[in-house]
Amino acid sequence: MKATVLHGDCASLLDQQNTAWGHVDLTFLDPPFNQDKGYNEWDDNMPEAQYWRWMGDVCKKIYHRTTSGGAIYFMQREKKTESVLRCLRESGWTFQNLIIWKKKTSAVPGMHRFGKHYQIIAFATKGERPRVFHRLRINPPLPAGYKYERENGMFLTDVWDDIRELTSGYFAGDEALRDVEGNRLHKQQTPIQLLLRIILSSTNPGDIVLDPFSGSGTTLVVAEQLGRESIGVELDKVNVKIIEERLAEQREADDISNLFKDYECTPDLETIWGRTKSRTAVTPTQGKLFESNPNRI
C-alpha cells in the first residue's frame, strides 16, 4: 500500500494543492510538546500562546483536508488537556473521547501534585458521527478479585493501560530504532501497538492516514501493513531518511502480525485488518542510519 513521505513544514504543506492530499480519513497528531526537547530543526520552547495558535492552525488545515466523519487523534501531555480540547473545538472538530494512555511505566513523581502516570489522546471527528468506528474487543488479564473468566473478551474502553511506552533502557526492546552505538535515533518514537489500535478503530482498508509530525514513521509503517494509504510529513531530513529506510527494511520488530491475536475477539477482524500477504524483507541499503535486527523476516 502506498506510503508517501514529504519533507517540510506540515502547516505549509497542508496548504499546498498537492494531489497526495486529496482527502484524509484519519490523522494521528503527535506534535512536539513544547518541552524544550533537543529537536534538530524545531524550536521546542515557544511562548505558550504562540504554540497553541500554531496547533490551532494545523488542526484547522487538517480539518479542511478530512472527509466527512473522518477522525483525528491528538496526543499531548495530561497537563495540556484543556488546551487540546479547546484547540480541537475551535478548529471545528467534534469531541468523542479523551483516551487515557497509562503507559505501563513508573509514574513521574510530582512534588506539589500527584505523580504523573498517563498521557492523553483526544479523539475527535469531523461532524457528530464517525464515518468508521470499529468496536474492537480485547482480552486482557482479569483484574485481581474478578471471579469469572470472560467468555469473549471485552470492548475497548477509553483507558488504554496495556501498551508500553518505548522508554529508555531495555524496556524499549527491539522496536526502538538505534544507531550502531545503541543510541535511540528518535526519542519520541511511538509504539506500533498504539498506532495499530488507532488505525484499526477509525479506518477501513484502503483509507488514507495522515501523520503531519511523522518522526520515525511509526504511523506509516503500521498503515502500510494494514492496507491503508498513508502520508507522513517530517521537518527533519534525518528523520525523513529514517522513515524511508524503516519502510524499505520491514524490520521484524515492526511486524504487526503477532498482534492480531490481541484483537481476536473482535467480530470481522480479518476484514477490518485488511490482511495482506506476508511481508518480504528487502536487502538493506549501504550507509543505513539504524541497526537491523538480527532476525529480520
Ligand X SMILES: C[S@@+](CC[C@H](N)C(=O)[O-])C[C@H]1O[C@@H](n2cnc3c(N)ncnc32)[C@H](O)[C@@H]1O
The amino acid at 294: P
> Which of 26, 55, 172, 235 is close enough to bind ligand X by CB under 6 A?
235
Euclidean distance between CA atoms 70 and 217, whole angstroms: 21
202 counts as binding ligand X under rule CB under 6 A? no
> Which of 229, 234, 254, 262 is close enough to bind ligand X by CB under 6 A?
234
> Which of 85, 87, 226, 233 is close enough to bind ligand X by CB under 6 A?
233
What minimum distance in Å lies between the beta carbon of 37 and ligand X? 8
125 counts as binding ligand X under rule CB under 6 A? no
Q: Which residues pair with 211 in a beta bridge?
A: 232
61 counts as binding ligand X under rule CB under 6 A? no
Binding to ligand X (CB under 6 A): which residues in 237-296?
239
The smaller minimum CB distance to ligand X, of residues 235 and 266, is found at 235
CB atoms within 10 A of CB 24: 25
Distances in Å between the Cα of 250 and the Cα atoms of 135, 219, 233, 258 are: 28, 14, 20, 14
CB atoms within 10 A of CB 185: 19
> Which of 1, 15, 42, 163 is close enough to bind ligand X by CB under 6 A?
42
Instruction: Draw the binding track, 1-40, toward ligand X (x: CB under 6 A; -: no contact).
Output: --------xx-------------------xxx------x-
| Beta-carbon contacts of residue 141 (< 8 Å; ≥ 6 apart) | none
- N residues, the chain: 297
Nearest one of 186, 198, 189 to 164, comparing CA atoms: 189
Positions touching ligand X (CB under 6 A) are 9-10, 30-32, 39, 42, 186, 188-190, 212-213, 215-216, 218, 233-236, 239
